[in-house]
Amino acid sequence: MDVKPIYANRSPEEKRAFVDAEIAKGNPKYKPREVWLKENAVPIAIRSLEQKVDALTEIVKKFSKSK
């Protein structure tokens, strides 16, 4: 039986509201969004590039199949 945490079932808006509430409470587990984004800027950029490459790869595959 695969048990997922309740957090996984939340929408992105609900997750953001939860994290914002935890930050406001002073929970040390959660960093302010600006700090987190600064620390994770490189992985975020890499993930974005990977998504773009994947999208272009799919376009090329569709184009090459149509010929």
C-alpha to C-alpha distance for 4 and 8, rounded to whole angstroms: 7
The angle subtended at Cα 38 by Cα 36 and Cα 15, nearest 5°, is 30
pLDDT of 38 reads 95
- What's the CA gap between 19 and 29, in Å, rounded? 10
Q: Which residue has the higher pLDDT, 3 or 37?
A: 37
Whether 3 shows a pLDDT value over 60: the answer reads: no
pLDDT digits 0-9 by tens, 47-56: 999 999 999 9
Q: What is the mean pLDDT of residues 38-57?
A: 95
CB–CB of 49/38 below 8 Å?
no
26: left (phi over 0), alpha (psi -120 to 50) or beta: left
Q: How would residue 67 be classed by pLDDT, with cut points 50, 70 and 90?
A: low
